[in-house]
């Protein structure tokens, strides 16, 4: 063709413009030569990519359609068309992106070229961001098989496997990512999380410590290490060291304060738990988690006036839904404890239906486990069960159950009530530690001194909040 040399020189020049981020000049040059040869796939591919670089997605889509007519069997055309369907609302994977249409194009690319790495990668990430973790794992595994030396494919596959509950596969994928890139902080962090969920505390600790070593500016590993040491290994001072390091490094990071409060709560240090939840609220009065924890801490010891004040703070912060969610969970737990499995399941399903974007799936999973394993619960005396079947409120019935549990454990010549609780926790593999912590915390404490300190802390915060 007479313009072949001009086209070749323009493509080289356009590439130089793109490397220098002179995208407008690249577009102008490419459009000039497209007029000379409108079916040149190199021109169309380069022009389409440049449009996408600068966010001109409508122009990119029109260019891709012209490219498709010129090369209907080119897998990269379908890969590009698929990627364009993933852009929505000015961002990649934005709300409402067209997953089905994207997969239609990307599957076509893979069918034309089973080694089309970019199509498999895009399909995997699209499914991941859409929440379809089974499909995400499938496509990401395909990408990793095409290019096994690409650490990110293994990393994302590990994340997908983790979120679909396949912890062993997740750990294997993340370890492969780390072998390929031993300075990958996110891979270490998620590997620590996988081991955390598998309750392999020592492995989780090693992964999180490595994450801190590689990226000391990420606060999450400090929090997780504090929780492991403070809640799961009963190494209180070690937990304090990590939380203090996190708060020192990241003084505005809310989870550092709430995590420290959680550990104090787990160790039945009621006033200190309240103090750290209140400090979290001073950082962000609208924060849902510390509000809900304070709501339940004070409600369970009968501080009804403070409970009302907390609800007022929550209402002003538009956190009413958090309390409603917890009420569903509490009621489901109550019916599970007294053996009314059908009603417990109904409440859990109502909760999941009402809050589809909340914690419905994880709560359903956790409490269905609880319902399916009634032997994991502390048994209730028959005399107490009669009271529960009467018209007691769930809160009163829960209190009666706890009283029965204390009478039962104390009558078996245990050296301490704590040991009785620990035995129950060990029996369940630790799944229901929170239930037994509540027993330890509220039935055998807090002391009146702790109550007074907690009231004073809350009153100081609430007075400032009102003003």
The answer on pLDDT for 262 being more than 90 is no
Burial class of residue 314, CB neighbours in 10 A (0-12, 13-18, 19+): buried
What is residue 87's three-state secondary structure?
A: strand
> Which residue from 210, 202, 219 is spatially nearest to 179, judged by alpha carbons?
210
Q: What local confidence, expressed as pLDDT, does residue 324 receive? A: 54
Q: What local confidence, expressed as pLDDT, does residue 340 receive? A: 58
The answer on pLDDT for 169 being more than 80 is yes
Q: How far is residue 265's CA from residue 276's CA, in Å, rounded to a whole number? A: 10
The answer on pLDDT for 379 being more than 90 is no
Q: How far is residue 205's CA from residue 400's CA, in Å, rounded to a whole number? A: 39
- b/e 127-145 (16+ beta carbons within 10 angstroms → b): bbebebbebbbbbbbbbbe
**What pLDDT, in 10s, does the model give residues 11-24?**
788 788 778 888 88
Q: What local confidence, expressed as pLDDT, does residue 24 receive? A: 85
Backbone angles phi, psi at 92, to 5 degrees: -70, 140
DSSP 8-state assignment for residue 71: -
Apex CA 184: angle with CA 181 and CA 186, to 5°?
145
Q: Hey, how many other C-beta atoms are within 10 angstroms of the C-beta on 42? A: 14
The answer on pLDDT for 149 being more than 80 is yes
Q: What local confidence, expressed as pLDDT, does residue 283 receive? A: 87
Structure tokens at 231: 């809640």
Q: What's the average model confidence in pLDDT over 337-349?
A: 63
Q: What local confidence, expressed as pLDDT, does residue 430 receive? A: 37
3 or 113, which is more confident: 113
Q: How far is residue 247's CA from residue 18's CA, in Å, rounded to a whole number? A: 44
Asked whether the bond before 24 is cis by omega within 30 degrees of 0, the reply is no
What is residue 199's three-state secondary structure?
A: coil
Q: How far is residue 133's CA from residue 324's CA, in Å, rounded to a whole number? A: 29
Max CA separation in the chain (angstroms):
100
Going from the N-terminus, what domains does the chain have, and what CATH number goes with each? 1-72 (1.25.40.10), 267-467 (no CATH)
Q: What local confidence, expressed as pLDDT, does residue 399 receive? A: 54
Q: How far is residue 348's CA from residue 446's CA, in Å, rounded to a whole number? A: 31
The answer on pLDDT for 383 being more than 70 is no
Q: What local confidence, expressed as pLDDT, does residue 374 receive? A: 37
The answer on pLDDT for 139 being more than 90 is yes
Q: What is the Cβ-side half-sphere exposure of residue 374, based on CA atoms within 13 angstroms?
A: 11
321 or 166, which is more confident: 166
Q: What local confidence, expressed as pLDDT, does residue 288 receive? A: 76
Residue found by looking up tokens 């529960």 in the block = 388
What is residue 108's three-state secondary structure?
A: helix
Contact 158, 170 (CB under 8 A): yes
Q: Hey, how many other C-beta atoms are within 10 angstroms of the C-beta on 291? A: 23
Backbone angles phi, psi at 88, to 5 degrees: -145, 135
Q: Helices 220-227 & 185-197, crossing angle to 10 degrees?
A: 20
Contact 161, 173 (CB under 8 A): yes
Question: Which sign, positive or negative, has the C-alpha torsion 97, 100, 102, 106?
Answer: positive
87 or 433, which is more confident: 87
Backbone angles phi, psi at 215, to 5 degrees: -140, 85
372 or 138, which is more confident: 138
Q: What local confidence, expressed as pLDDT, does residue 119 receive? A: 95
The answer on pLDDT for 80 being more than 80 is yes
Element (H, E) at 91: strand 91-92
172 or 218, which is more confident: 172
Backbone angles phi, psi at 403, to 5 degrees: -60, -40
Contacts of 383 (CB under 8 A, 6+ apart): 404
Q: What's the average model confidence in pLDDT over 145-149?
A: 95
Q: What's the average model confidence in pLDDT over 245-252?
A: 87
Q: What local confidence, expressed as pLDDT, does residue 329 receive? A: 60
82 or 291, which is more confident: 82
Q: Residue 21: left (phi > 0), alpha (psi -120 to 50), or beta? A: left
The answer on pLDDT for 142 being more than 60 is yes
Q: Hey, how many other C-beta atoms are within 10 angstroms of the C-beta on 46? A: 23
Ordered DSSP codes for 279-300 = HHHHH-TT-HHHHHHHHHHHHH
Residue 233: pLDDT band (50, 70, 90) is confident
Q: Helices 320-337 & 288-300, crossing angle to 10 degrees?
A: 50
The answer on pLDDT for 158 being more than 60 is yes
Q: How far is residue 450's CA from residue 58's CA, in Å, rounded to a whole number? A: 63
Say which range, 136-140, 324-328, 344-348, has the weakest mean pLDDT: 324-328
Q: What percent of the chain has pLDDT over 70?
A: 72
């Amino acid at each position: 063709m007479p313009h072949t040399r001009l086209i070749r020189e323009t493509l080289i020049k356009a590439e130089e413009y793109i490397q220098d981020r002179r995208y407008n000049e690249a577009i102008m040059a490419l459009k000039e030569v497209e007029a000379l040869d409108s079916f040149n796939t190199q021109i169309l591919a380069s022009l389409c990519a440049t449009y996408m670089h600068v966010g001109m997605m409508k122009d990119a889509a029109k260019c891709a359609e012209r490219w498709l007519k010129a090369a209907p069997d080119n897998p990269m055309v379908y890969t590009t068309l698929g990627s364009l369907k993933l852009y929505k609302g000015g961002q990649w994977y934005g709300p409402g992106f067209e997953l089905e249409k994207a997969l239609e194009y990307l599957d076509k690319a893979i069918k034309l070229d089973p080694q089309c790495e970019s199509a498999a990668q895009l399909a995997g990430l699209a499914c991941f961001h859409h929440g379809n973790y089974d499909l995400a794992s499938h496509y990401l595994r395909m990408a990793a098989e095409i290019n096994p030396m690409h650490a990110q494919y293994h990393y994302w596959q590990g994340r997908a496997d983790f979120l679909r509950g396949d912890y062993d596969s997740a750990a294997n994928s993340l370890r492969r990512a780390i072998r390929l890139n031993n300075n990958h902080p996110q891979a270490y962090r998620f590997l620590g999380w996988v081991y955390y969920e598998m309750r392999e505390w020592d492995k989780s600790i090693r992964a999180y410590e490595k994450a801190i070593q590689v990226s000391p500016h990420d606060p999450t590993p400090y929090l997780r290490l504090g929780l492991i040491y403070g809640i799961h290994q009963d190494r209180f001072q070690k937990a304090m060291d990590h939380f203090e390091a996190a708060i020192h490094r990241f003084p505005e990071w809310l989870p550092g304060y709430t995590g420290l409060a959680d550990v104090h709560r787990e160790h039945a240090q009621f006033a200190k738990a309240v103090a750290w939840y209140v400090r979290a609220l001073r950082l962000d009065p609208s924060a849902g988690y510390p509000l809900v924890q304070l709501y339940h801490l004070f409600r369970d010891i009968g501080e009804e006036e403070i409970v009302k004040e907390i609800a007022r703070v929550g209402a002003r912060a538009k956190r009413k839904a958090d309390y409603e969610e917890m009420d569903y969970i509490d009621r489901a737990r109550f019916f599970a404890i007294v053996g009314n499995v059908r009603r417990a399941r109904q409440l859990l399903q109502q909760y999941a239906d009402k809050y589809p974007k909340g914690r419905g799936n994880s709560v359903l999973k956790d409490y269905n486990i609880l319902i399916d394993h009634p032997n994991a619960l502390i048994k209730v005396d028959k005399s107490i069960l009669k009271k529960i079947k009467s018209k007691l409120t769930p809160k009163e019935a829960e209190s009666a159950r706890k009283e029965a549990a204390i009478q039962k454990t104390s009558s078996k010549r245990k050296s301490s009530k704590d040991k009785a609780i620990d035995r129950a926790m060990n029996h369940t593999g630790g799944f229901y530690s929170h239930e037994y912590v509540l027993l330890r915390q509220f039935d055998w404490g807090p002391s009146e001194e702790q109550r007074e300190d907690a009231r004073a802390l809350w009153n100081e915060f609430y007075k400032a909040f009102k003003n």
